[in-house]
Structures are given as C-alpha cells and as structure tokens.
Structure 1
C-alpha cells in the first residue's frame, strides 16, 4: 500500500491511531440503553451517522451500477414462491374478470389472471422495485406510483422514481412524471375520463421539498400540476380517494412525516383531511371534529351505499391509536365513536404503518381497518373483531371485486389473500407470489436443495420439511445457519438475537439466547461457525461469545467492543459481524458504530484496528492467511469520500481501499471466491472484481437490494438473498 494512500485513510478516520488495544480481562461493560425500535435497524445501517439519507441516493447508485460492464453468468430465481411479502397496493383490471394487480414494497408489480391464485411478474426487472400505489383506468390503462409510502418497519423505505403507465397489462411501462415525488401513496382515475388522474405525492421521508401534495394530470400523465399544496416541507399526500357516489367529490389525506439521523417525526400540524367538490380543482381542510392541531397518520374510508358516510382512523404523533370517527355529511362534521380496546390494540405503537380504512360497497356499516390484525366492524364502528389467525399480520391494501359479489382481495406483510365472504373469513392465500424480503441466506454443501434464510415478518424459512418454503421459527427471520458437515444441524434467529438450534433440521428447536452473555444485541445478531470445526460457534452481542459444543453453552471472550448505546447517533452499540480464521486463534469482529477488532490469541487480547467508520456489515478472512481480511461498510454517502470495501494484509496495521468503481451505496456482504476474486452484495446487486475494476455479476438479477450471499465452493454455487425478490442462484463455472 502506498504511503500517500495510508495518509488519506488516516485523515478519513480509517486507521485507529496507535492501534488501540484492550484486554478481555478486567474491563467493565456499559449497561446503558436497550435495543432500538424495529424501524430503526435498516435506516441506521444505511446512513452515515449525523447525515440524512441523500436525495435520490438509491437510484443514483443504481444508474452507476447499470453503467458497469457485465461479467458472465445467469441468475435464476429459486423461491420462495409461496411466502410473499409486504404488499402495499392492489388494483383490478376493469376489462378482464379475475385479473388483479399487486404491488410489493420492494418487489415490483405482479399480475394475476386467476383471481389471485398466482401472480406472474408485470414489471421490468431492471426498473426500481420500490412500489407505493396502483390504479387502473376504465379503459384498462394501469398506473404505478413508485416509492414506498410506509416509513420503516425493520427495513429501509426506498424512494421511487415517479409514476409509470402501462397500456398492455404491465408488459411494458412508460415513465410519466413526478420523478421527485419520493413515494406515491395513492392514485385515482376519474371513471368518466380515463385520462384524468390524481396522484398523492407523499414526498421523501428524509429530505424536504420535491414533489409533494396532490397532483392532477388531464392527459394520462403527460403533464401534471399540483392542485393541493402542502403547508410544510415534510408534509406529503398519503392518500387520495374519489367518492363513488359523487365523482366530483374527492378526498385527500396529508401527513407530516420525517426521518432524521437522531429521531423520527410521524405527525404534525400539516396532517389532516381535505375535500374537493370540483373533481380536484380546489380544496379545503375538513374540521368539524377531526384533529386540526398535531395529528399522526389518518386513514379514510368512503361508503358507496350511503352517500356522505365517511370513517376516519386517526393515529397519534407517537404512533398509538388516536380515535375512530364517522361523518354522515361528507366530512363537514364528525362524531368520535367510543374507543375500542381491540381496535386501539391493533395499532400497537406504529399507527403510521397502517392508516387505511375500507368500507364494504354494499353495506356502509361493514368496515375493515388496517392494523396488525385485520379489524372488522359490522355496526359502523360500535364493536370490532380481529381476524388474527386466517391471514398474516400487518394489513396494507384491500379492494372489492365488482365482477364477483362478496369477493375481496387483501394485501399485507404475508402477501395476497382472497375472501369470497365479504372479507369476513374464508380467506385463501395466493399460491405463487415470488417477492419475499430476505435478510439472510444459508446453504448446505451436503444437499444443494437445502436453503434457509431469514425473512422480514415471515420468520426463518427452509426449503425442506414441508412446503418449499416453510417457516420453522417465527418473528422477523434473521441469522440462519446450516452445519456444513451435518445438514440436520441448523440454527435460526429472530430479531435481537433470539436464537435457537436444532439437530433434526428444525423440526424441534432449543432456544439458547439466555446462555449467551450480552447487554445489547443487534436486530440482526451475528452467529457464525468456525471455518474448520462447526461445533465451535461465535455469537456477537456487545461482547463476543464462543461455544465449543454446538451452541449448548457459551462463554464471553471479549470485553464490550463498542462505544456503548447512543454513541455517534447509533442506539445499538453492538457487534454486527464475526469472522474466525482457519488457524484456530484469530477472530475478527465489526460493530454498528464503525469499529473493527482482531484477536490473535482467541480473545485474551483484542486490538482495535479501525474506527470512525459507518456500520460494519461484514468481515471475510482469507482462507490461507489469518492476517488478510476484507471489511465491507454500509451507508449512503452525503458527499463523503469514505470507502465501502477495505482490505488489510497485515492484521489491520494498514488498509487499502478496494471500492474502485463500485456504486456509491451500501456493501452488505463480501465473499472471496478464490485468492484473486471477490464477490460483493450491495443495494444495487452483486458485483465481482475483474480486469478494469468491478463488474455486475451475471444477468437475470432484478434491480433489488441483495442482503446476503452464501457461496458453496465445492459446487461453485452462489445464492443471493434479495430484499424483495426472494433467493437467486448462479453457478460460477
């Protein structure tokens, strides 16, 4: 490494001055603080401390990725096809019975021609996969608004690239504006004039300004003008709905929402309900009992069978239940209905994740509300019941099919469901919906059909022991492992390091979290095998734990390797990655507050070799040299020159930057394929180094974040866990 390069890295804070050292004995641990809320994890991982997420960071990096040369290879989707994931919007094709479209939060658009049983793709693989809203015009034209309007929830909210239009059922799409909308919460097409479209531009969650409010196009998206402005820089329109009994009457919901490095503000004075009586040309804010001061997100439902009847589900600024109201005069006056414990509980502490109300077109008293459970009232909100077992949790979209009386489609964190009983039970789940959001992947060299991984809100999944795939540990699925010498010895974790082990492939599980020693654990707590002896495992809380008996018992082998909770805007203060060398006594560890440590004597002494970095996502150790390691870093940069990939060949005494022409985006994993070839997983796909720099690896991989990679060198087989499109595999030779 050249001296000048060393100086640059030192100035950037890449080298720990003097190589800070610590002994595992005689140091006290910092006990402060608990884990951050689930919605914090990915945001903090993918931002630099003290900096907001830059405007257009994701699609700017995607353009950089698209410009790179492509290395040979072909990615193939390998499931899950039966799990699904976060569905944020649904639309019906008005010209074709049993045809419904679904938008996945980070998985594109899908079209079913068999009443929701199967969903083939209806969106380009190389387009943004971040979706917000769908709407179909009476002539069959389909509109898609990109960018997810729901903020956070164990995953980052990816911004979109505006509104798109398809005139051939999703086979091809054309960009039609509002490029700077950040996210689109809803779309509405005038039933009398199919070219007249209203869009609720939600705006960026991270940056003020841009396209915000309600926009109107008179020419099918050819041009737009804002018809409802917003009062604040972080106010956006999250919903727009037309009164089915009076097409000239339109309602919109505005919402203040902002995510900063050290806090989130999901409510404010700009939040409220607005009405237009001239098809969107002019608007006024509704009061009469609705909140007019600070409010959280508001969900609005309009009754078709009783003109003037409205419902509003009001959230508070802290995310709890704020009330359920009804109006009989089109919103001029409102009555707050008696609070209901079941409805209030359904909002948990994150009412901003839901904000939807759906009214049965045939019965104004039959209403569904979004929550953790699907909530139903048959008496206009006086009493409520929860659909807790028949459908997955966290509801986001619902629509009634006018072609088939009683048929209802539902979209939630588990995919798409259909009921032919007006949504009162009788739910059947879609059988083919290949858009799962995955955090991790594990594979077995003994049996290449055995794949496991952790999924957002869909637990730890496996390809054996039942359906391909099936959930064998609940919660948000995070770290998964398969013993390379015994395919039936598996390990799985849910959020914050709640981990279990199994000797029968996951049929029975034994929890081992309480056997580990930690004051704090990350949302995705790292658990890793020793590369030589899989009976030896490592578990990272804020201290590193080691097991020599397959995870039955654990002993701490480090002090607290972090700066503690709250350090530099990080609320965790935890280990995020562990990598043991093949020599049996060298172990590397990285943290969420940008530190890298190494021990050369199995934990008796530790040396801090990097500090001041963004979140350390992964460390990989050279198979032949324990002093050679690769470190991948996360964070979208706000004009910062800090690298995303580093290498050391001298146990951390010096570092070189390998980022080169990689897209300026988080690197989530680094895997050495051989001594000369590295493979990295990023928010813009998978890349491999080669002549002239980095290349996109293979064809056929959608433009979707890749969270994790498993590599089986014996079979030359790569498996990628994507956050939105399931698992993909590629053979390297």
Structure 2
C-alpha cells in the first residue's frame, strides 16, 4: 500500500516492481525503480516509452499518411458549431512537455515556451505564469521557437522528438509574428513535417536558419537545413540530406564566429513493426561561410554508419572552438561524450561516466541536447531522464533527478540576468538563478498538460481526476491545485459514482491501484487479475448498475464483484495474439457492460469486437479486420444496441470511424457521416439519442438528421482522448492531449 504522495523515486520503484509482477520485466533487470540522484540509474526496459499511440493511430499495414491531421482539421473547420462554449478546468500547476524555449530580445523577463502538443506560450514575469501566444485553431504541435534581434518571433510546428508512449504530431511549417505572438503569418516550409530548431543571425534579424527534421512516418518533404534572408518569405536549401528519412534536428550559430554554423543530421523512421532511430545520414556538419557550403565533421566522432543515433551538440561562447557532443546509438543507447577544441576538426572521447550513460535511459533518441554555460566553457548540462551537469568539461557528471521533473528537452540562459537559466522538460518550465546548478523554481501556471483520460463524479462537480503523459494520475482534491496521487504515465482513472472517495488509477501496462480514501492510500490489485498481455492503456470499468462489479481487460476479460479486491477471468484470449515486436499488443482496449447484468462487450487493439450474453460463458465475435477499437458503448435501454469507435488515419479512401448495431452485432451501420477523417477516441451516448464523439480534431455531436457538428467554441484544435458524461449535472468533461481538461454544459 502506498500512503501519501511518495517521491518520484519511490513511485518509479513501485512501477518497476509491479512490472516484474506483471511479467513485463525480468527480475533483476534495470528499471525505473533505481532512478536516484546518487546512482543515476533511470527508467529503461519495457517501462520505457512504448508504442501505444502510434499503433493506435495507424491503419494496420499502412504508415501514418502525411498531412492527414491537417486535412482532417480542415474538414472539421468546415462543420457548423453548436451554441455554447467549452471552459478550461486546468490543471495549470502540472505542466507537460516543453520542446523549446526562447527569450524576448528587449525584455529579460519575457520567455516563450513551445509545448509539444499545446501550442506556444508567453511569460512576462520570468517564467512564473504563461498565457497563450498561438492561435487556438492552428495546429498545437510545436517543434521550435526563436526570436530575432528586432523582436520578430518565429515558430516551427511539428514535434521532432519521435513518439514514445504518446504520439508526436506533425506540423504545417514555420510561422512569423511581429506583435509578440498576437497574430501570425505563414513563413513557409509547409512540408517540413517537424522542425528541430530555428536560429536567427545576431547580426541580421531577417536572416534565419531552420532545421527541418521531416516526417517520422513517410519519406521526402522538406528535410535538411534551410536559410532565409528575408524573414521567411523565401528559403534556400543549403544542406541537403543523403537519405529519404534523414532530417536536420538542430542548427546552431557559433556565438564567437557567426559565419560558422553547425547542424546535426539524424536518420529516424517509424514503421509498423519497428523503429529505426539512426543511420548513415546521422552526424554533425559545419559551415564556415554562413551556410553556403558544408562538410561532415569526423576527426574522432563516430564514422557514418547504420548504428549512429541522435547527437546532441553544445557550442561554447566563452571559449571559441570548444564543442561538446553527446552521441547516442541507433537502439537508444549511449555511444559516448566527445569534446573538440578546434571547432570540430578533431574530437576527443572523454572517459565514459556511468551516470551520464544511464541518464539516457535506453532511449537517447528522446533527448539529444547539450547546453554550455555562456560564461564558463567547462560548465555543461546534458539532457537525459535527469538533468546531467558537469563542472569539468564532461570529465565527471552529477544528476539533478530530484530537483526537476524528468526528461529534459530545452534550456536557455538569459544574457541580461547573470546566472539566470530556464529549463523545459516533460513537467513544464523551470527557472534557476544559479546557472542551473540548484534553486530551481517551477512555473505556477502552465495550462498545457497532455491527458489520456478523465473521471468525474456526480457527487461533487469539483472532483476531477485523469491520467497524464509522464505526469501520473492527477486529482483536483487533496492539495493545492491538481496533484499526482499515482506515478508513471497516468492512464485509466475512475471515481465510484456512489462513493467519491473510492477511486482507481492505473499506469502503463495495466498496473492499477484502488483507494477508499480519495487516493491518499493506494492498494495495487493487478497481480490478482489473469492475463498474458496488457495494453499500455488497459481498460478498467464499472458495471453501470453496481459499481462494486468491475471489469479489467488484458488479453482476457476479468471481473470483480468486490470493488477490485479479487478478480476472476470470464473470457478466453479475445485477440489474435501478440504482434511481431516486443511490445504488449494483442490486448483488450475497451470494455462495456450492459444494464441487464449479463451482456458485456469488448474491443481489441487488433480490430475485433466481442459480445457475451451470459457473463462470459460464451462469446461471439461480431467484428474483425477493423482498425484499433478505441471504445464500445452500450445503449442503457437496450443491451443489443452498441456503438463502436475506431481509430486510424488512412490515406486514400474514407474509412468508418463510428459504427452502430441494434441486433447484437449481426449487422452494422456506419455513422461516420461528415465526421473528419480522423481517429474517434471516445463516444458518449446521452439522453434523447444524442451522440458525442471525441476525435483528434476535437468533440463533435450528432442528433438525428442534421449530421455531425462541432460542439461549441472555446476549445483549441487539440486531440481529445477521453470524455466523461455527467448526466445529473448536465456536463461533458474532456481530456485533451495538450491543453488539459475542458467542460461543456449540455442540455
């Protein structure tokens, strides 16, 4: 039993132990449970970022198509809106993944933060609070932000970090603002897919470099390094790529010699059954003539080859020619830390430090960043699960795993505030007044949390909980603002509709716990269930009549009659078995029980839907060959009427995303209609036959012959992963993947 809110180290220790119990991690394997500042051990193995969202969003046998999200967003924009507005419910104090930071050139207290799937934000009080600096109906997927000396602000859309447990969405190019983010204009590179970095020339604000990383899923497009000399009105492709999946993930202008420019290239590709995060195109390049010509740097760096992974590059301002390179391998491992004293002509590999190596966690492709103190070339920070720090030029390292949230992605020093530095990671934005060595202060207002789920209770409209990407299971009670009451990646959350203190929360691969005191003390019950495989997001549901009856789906369906204390399997394996890779796949993804006490529906990640009419004594397969089944919902008045929501982006012809049966699956009707061609992540059946569908392009409603309409205004263009309908209080609460919780008042 976990009592109170344990430290992050203790949380990960419990996660590692539970993964061993669940058969997902071998005893003795290095796990997240060893993550401490002292020994530097970090999250790895099956507990590392998995493939849940990628597998969910693609059609089996097909890649994720280019521009599919953008096309669906355009379709959504054409639909009429219903009256009413969504209201943001937070959290504001939790945050989420920040991929880049930039400072205002005129105001030392103004900082811009690019959220992975939450848009661009502006703080005018040194990173304490943030307000939107990006259009609500533009793509919210961000990759880079930069400011020019004249105050012009640039944003590169599309996250360059390859997807782990969460999907990283592509963008629509580069944009420019001349009024602090109030309005924006397109600045080209629309087919860049993802943007790794933007850098402006300190001598000429109209001169800007862009590192175009390209699509993770399909070849081609705008890739490599581009240079604009007219503030983004036109671009010149100055560094091409050798391979169709090579992209530029970083570009840096040498502060001591602005005509010297460095670029980091990286091969990265995600396919249905594998990921390739390295290759012969990966490496560091240098231009000595302002970007006109380039050469690959060798002289001791790993040679071009299939095993070269993502590289983080740090450039010293106080010692001209001093460089650092953190090199990963194609499998996500650590391949060495290097330094150069001659601008990259020759390199020395420094002695391996176990703490630095372990900080990469087995997924070095998630980080790839090195930052050098502008006043001290021997003071270096490196991105990892923990923030790693060296005071002797990389000879030795310490880890800041307890001072800040895990998974580091961005850092910037303020040149007008001695020793002030900002940090961006999976927990949001932090500020240090001690060069990043200590004294970190977290921002207090960051409304960009990535949520997988939401749970409400009709007993108390102020109680909301939900699972957050890399921020645990969150609750709105028990402390100031939202607080984490179970660690890991927060996934399924439930609140007993008859007892608001009886709550449930899960983290990855179905490791779930229950509580009778609102989450202060949690008791794990996963080991009491019977399954060979469990999905990253394992379904856990109440019976609609008696909440002490519960259902839990691995590859078999389990049932409890005592509130989750004990469990019994009531089905055989309802899937087609595991996939060819190493991830738990071939699992249940959704469970729905009817009010008759006998009928239960279940859907799987391999496109099957099953129904039992006798509590599991017999099962009938009523659908197969579909994309990932995200949700099955049963009509409360008729156990034979059910709705099936399907995921998957498809290029070419349209595909069903919402089906209905009124005869227990003997026949099906496609209800997709004019819905955008995008995954439907959840569906809610409300009174009067009204349907609500949560999609990657927001929430839509359908009532009779009028077709689908967008539900209200006020919600940004952000994926909605989950809906909870509170009929008693006439409200719908949405979990968005990038902008927190939203509430809509229903008829």
Is TM (by shorter chain) over 0.5? yes
Q: 2:721 aligns with which of 707, 719, 722?
A: 707
Q: 1:604 aligns with which of 612, 617, 625?
A: 617
Q: 1:719 aligns with which of 716, 729, 733?
A: 733
When the two structures are superposed, what TM-score results if normalisation uses the length of structure 2? 0.93
The structure showing larger relative contact order (alpha-carbon pairs under 8 Å, at least 6 residues apart) is 1
Q: 2:109 aligns with which of 98, 103, 116?
A: 98
- Using the TM superposition, give the Cα deviation of residue 262 of structure 1 relative to its aligned residue in structure 2, in angstroms: 1.3
Matches within 5 A, 1:278-357: 278-294=289-305, 295-357=308-370
Match of 2:742? 728
CA distance in 2: counterparts of 1:598 and 1:403, whole angstroms: 65
Answering whether residue 521 of structure 2 is matched by residue 521 of structure 1, we say: no
Match of 2:447? 434
Partner SS for 1:618: strand
Partner SS for 2:72: helix
Matches within 5 A, 1:225-264: 225-264=236-275
- Using the TM superposition, give the Cα deviation of residue 108 of structure 1 relative to its aligned residue in structure 2, in angstroms: 0.2
- Using the TM superposition, give the Cα deviation of residue 279 of structure 1 relative to its aligned residue in structure 2, in angstroms: 1.1
Equivalent residues of 1:44, 1:570 under 8 A apart: no
Q: 2:159 aligns with which of 137, 148, 154?
A: 148
Match of 2:89? 78
Answering whether residue 77 of structure 2 is matched by residue 66 of structure 1, we say: yes
Change (3 A) 1:623 1:567: farther
CA displacement, residues 546-576 of structure 1 (integer Å, 9 cap, x when unaligned): 0000100000000000011017998511000
Match of 1:579? 592
CA distance in 1: counterparts of 2:624 and 2:637, whole angstroms: 26
Equivalent residues of 1:528, 1:579 under 8 A apart: yes
- Using the TM superposition, give the Cα deviation of residue 97 of structure 1 relative to its aligned residue in structure 2, in angstroms: 2.1
Superposition RMSD in Å: 1.4
CA displacement, residues 358-385 of structure 1 (integer Å, 9 cap, x when unaligned): 0000000000000000000000011000
CA displacement, residues 487-529 of structure 1 (integer Å, 9 cap, x when unaligned): 0000000000110000000010101010111110000000000
CA distance in 2: counterparts of 1:78 and 1:675, whole angstroms: 27
Q: 1:510 aligns with which of 523, 538, 549?
A: 523
Match of 1:174? 185
Match of 1:21? none
CA distance in 1: counterparts of 2:278 and 2:505, whole angstroms: 37
CA distance in 1: counterparts of 2:149 and 2:392, whole angstroms: 32
Match of 1:26? none
Match of 1:276? 287
Equivalent residues of 2:339, 2:350 under 8 A apart: yes
Partner SS for 2:73: helix
Match of 2:8? none
Q: Which runs of 5+ in 1 are unaligned?
A: 1-30
Answering whether residue 474 of structure 2 is matched by residue 464 of structure 1, we say: no
Size of the aligned set, in residue pairs, is: 703
CA distance in 2: counterparts of 1:235 and 1:535, whole angstroms: 53
Match of 1:558? 571
CA distance in 2: counterparts of 1:509 and 1:316, whole angstroms: 39
Answering whether residue 497 of structure 2 is matched by residue 484 of structure 1, we say: yes
- Using the TM superposition, give the Cα deviation of residue 73 of structure 1 relative to its aligned residue in structure 2, in angstroms: 1.6
Match of 2:3? none
- Using the TM superposition, give the Cα deviation of residue 282 of structure 1 relative to its aligned residue in structure 2, in angstroms: 1.1
Answering whether residue 654 of structure 2 is matched by residue 641 of structure 1, we say: yes
Answering whether residue 678 of structure 2 is matched by residue 665 of structure 1, we say: yes
Match of 1:137? 148
Match of 2:276? 265
Match of 2:12? none
Match of 1:25? none
Matches within 5 A, 1:177-256: 177-256=188-267
Q: 1:381 aligns with which of 387, 394, 413?
A: 394
Equivalent residues of 1:398, 1:411 under 8 A apart: yes
When the two structures are superposed, what TM-score results if normalisation uses the length of structure 1? 0.95
Equivalent residues of 1:36, 1:572 under 8 A apart: no
Match of 2:513? 500
CA distance in 2: counterparts of 1:40 and 1:361, whole angstroms: 38
Equivalent residues of 1:516, 1:545 under 8 A apart: yes
Equivalent residues of 2:153, 2:176 under 8 A apart: yes
- Using the TM superposition, give the Cα deviation of residue 640 of structure 1 relative to its aligned residue in structure 2, in angstroms: 4.2
Higher mean displacement: 433-442 or 255-264: 255-264
- Using the TM superposition, give the Cα deviation of residue 32 of structure 1 relative to its aligned residue in structure 2, in angstroms: 12
CA distance in 2: counterparts of 1:403 and 1:60, whole angstroms: 43
Change (3 A) 1:413 1:113: same
CA displacement, residues 81-109 of structure 1 (integer Å, 9 cap, x when unaligned): 00000000000001112000000000000
Equivalent residues of 2:94, 2:449 under 8 A apart: yes
CA distance in 1: counterparts of 2:528 and 2:664, whole angstroms: 31
- Using the TM superposition, give the Cα deviation of residue 660 of structure 1 relative to its aligned residue in structure 2, in angstroms: 0.4
Partner SS for 1:708: strand
Match of 2:51? 40
Partner SS for 1:399: strand
Equivalent residues of 1:50, 1:569 under 8 A apart: no
Partner SS for 1:344: helix
- Using the TM superposition, give the Cα deviation of residue 317 of structure 1 relative to its aligned residue in structure 2, in angstroms: 0.6
Match of 1:53? 64
- Using the TM superposition, give the Cα deviation of residue 674 of structure 1 relative to its aligned residue in structure 2, in angstroms: 1.9
Change (3 A) 1:430 1:33: closer
Match of 1:530? 543
CA displacement, residues 35-70 of structure 1 (integer Å, 9 cap, x when unaligned): 796331100000011100001111111001111111
CA distance in 2: counterparts of 1:341 and 1:33, whole angstroms: 22
CA displacement, residues 443-486 of structure 1 (integer Å, 9 cap, x when unaligned): 01000000000000000000000022000000000000000000
CA distance in 2: counterparts of 1:492 and 1:59, whole angstroms: 33
Equivalent residues of 1:309, 1:329 under 8 A apart: yes
- Using the TM superposition, give the Cα deviation of residue 236 of structure 1 relative to its aligned residue in structure 2, in angstroms: 0.2
Match of 2:39? none
Partner SS for 1:74: coil
